[in-house]
Structure 1
Amino acid sequence: MQRLWSAIGFLTTVPTPAHRFVFDRQTLFWFPFVGFGLGAVLAALALLLGALFPPMVTAALLVGAWAALTGALHLDGLADCGDGLLAPVARERRLEIMRDSRIGTFGVVTLALALMLKFAALATLPILWPALLLAPMWARWLILLAMQRPLARPDGMAARMRMPLDVRQLALCALPSLILTGMLCFWHWQVLPASTVAILAAFGVLRLAERRIGGVTGDVYGAVVEVSEAVFMGVASLAIR
């Protein structure tokens, strides 16, 4: 159980009984389950808030809860990537910009777009719980995928977290998400295109990072999570229409 607590403590702000974190391949296996747990909490909140407030207020509160439960860790990475990967600067300046704790124009715009897409999807989806369960689950598996890419620098969070996995191990970690997606497809087919496009969007982020800074950083991990979640929610709402 210590590895489960370690995964929860690393990926969320939920208090855990673990006195120290253990980070190894067994810990990584729990990442998608932590995403599922996060989604389950959000789905329960959606049911509660939906009974009390109109859709737009419910959506705003859910976006806030989503950020609070993760400590806005991934949002911070997305903002840094917005500044470092999208700004029209020389390649050698990009990593320096991403290390800067200050947020620039590109970071603000990127952050706003991701949050607005989540908000708009949450406000328009007639049934929230399938998307809320799957979006965080796939996003946490995509962190494992990002760990397999080259590093942009030899230090930092990405270097400390780096844990090589073979195809079999990656597939095993993806199995819970695949099973849940398959089950939910019988009732809510929209989760299939949403999952597919979210994974493709994550590949796009990784490809952009490799082209612009030569590999991944901890900020890129955060951007992969936020972009995949926002795209998942957006595609799920588009498919319903």
Structure 2
Amino acid sequence: MNSFLVGLQFLTRIHIARQTVWTADAFGRSTRFFPLVGLVLGICYALAAWLLVYFIGMRTLTAVLLLILPLLLTGGLHADGFMDTADGVFSGRERERKLEIMKDSRVGSFGVVSFVLLMFLQFALLLDMHPFLLVPALFIMPIIGRMAMVLAIACFPYARADGMGKTFADMADRKTIVTASVMTVVFVLPCGLLAFVALMLGILFALLFCRAMTTTLGGVTGDVYGAVTVLTETLVLAIFSLASINSDVWGILWR
């Protein structure tokens, strides 16, 4: 239970039991509970989506508020990692310089532009999504996103000699992957075939993305953990939004 609370406090602004002293061991054990953290976020997102659609309808305001909510509940942690990754990868510099740029606390032009474009994309995907699919999409989105983070941590080398992200990487093992995978499947599968498709494609994307980052950076970093989470979540939204185009398609996949 303590490991879950450590992960919840680190990845979100939801602090059930405030802890000020974190050990490397507590950090490492918390990784396997990241999909459970995603479940907590998914419940919050899905409930907000249901209330907004019920009281406001599927309008522009609903999509905007649903874009803002994840940033508020996570403190923009993953968005920051995404922007730092974009700054480094798109800089066109050598590997060591890319890692230095990513470590800089200041956000550069590549990061800002990439994040703005990502928000535009997510806004369009939410606005085009059928209201019937909005709640399940937002429920499973953070679960699959945190599973993607677990895969990045456990399956790929860390690019730096030190750093907070390395603490997670050093402690992750096969048990971490198995525990996180079981949780993810249990949480996602009851949501239907479309959710299962999103899970499989999300895992595939996460592995390919982290492999590309390993080729570029010599490994992954804490920023890449955030980037793969945000991008995998966007992919989940894209799958549900594209399925909304044809009611026959999502009607079949929803069963």
Aligned partner of 1:137 in structure 2 is 143
Aligned partner of 1:52 in structure 2 is 55
Pairwise CA distance, 1:86: 2.3
Aligned partner of 2:177 in structure 1 is 170
- What per-residue deviation string (whole Å, max 9, x for no partner) do you get for residues 115-143 of structure 1? 22222222222221211111101111222
Q: Which one of 29, 32, 43 corresponds to residue 32 of structure 2?
A: 29
Aligned partner of 1:114 in structure 2 is 118
Matched letter for residue 56 of structure 1: T
- What per-residue deviation string (whole Å, max 9, x for no partner) do you get for residues 19-78 of structure 1? 344625542232111101101101111111223334221111111011110000000000
What is the rounded CA distance, in whole Å, between the counterparts of 1:105 and 1:212 in structure 2?
Answer: 20
What is the rounded CA distance, in whole Å, between the counterparts of 1:103 and 1:64 in structure 2?
Answer: 19
Aligned partner of 2:232 in structure 1 is 228
Question: Are positions 1:13 and 2:13 aligned together?
Answer: yes
Q: Which one of 187, 207, 213 corresponds to residue 209 of structure 1?
A: 213
Matched letter for residue 143 of structure 1: M
8 Å CA contact retained: 2:31, 2:172: no
Identical columns (%): 35
Aligned partner of 1:93 in structure 2 is 97
Q: 1:169 to 1:95 in 2, by over 3 A?
A: closer
What is the rounded CA distance, in whole Å, between the counterparts of 1:6 and 1:172 in structure 2?
Answer: 17
8 Å CA contact retained: 1:135, 1:195: no
- Alignment RMSD: 1.8
Question: Are positions 1:199 and 2:188 aligned together?
Answer: no
8 Å CA contact retained: 2:28, 2:168: no
8 Å CA contact retained: 1:131, 1:233: yes
Aligned partner of 2:45 in structure 1 is 42
What is the rounded CA distance, in whole Å, between the counterparts of 2:100 and 2:29 in structure 1?
Answer: 33
Matched letter for residue 235 of structure 2: V
Aligned residue pairs: how many?
Answer: 237
8 Å CA contact retained: 2:151, 2:206: no
8 Å CA contact retained: 1:117, 1:233: no
Which structure 2 segments of 5+ residues have no match? 246-255
What is the rounded CA distance, in whole Å, between the counterparts of 2:96 and 2:176 in structure 1?
Answer: 35
Which TM-score applies when normalising by structure 1?
Answer: 0.91
Which structure 1 segments of 5+ residues have no match? none
Which TM-score applies when normalising by structure 2?
Answer: 0.86
Matched letter for residue 38 of structure 2: G
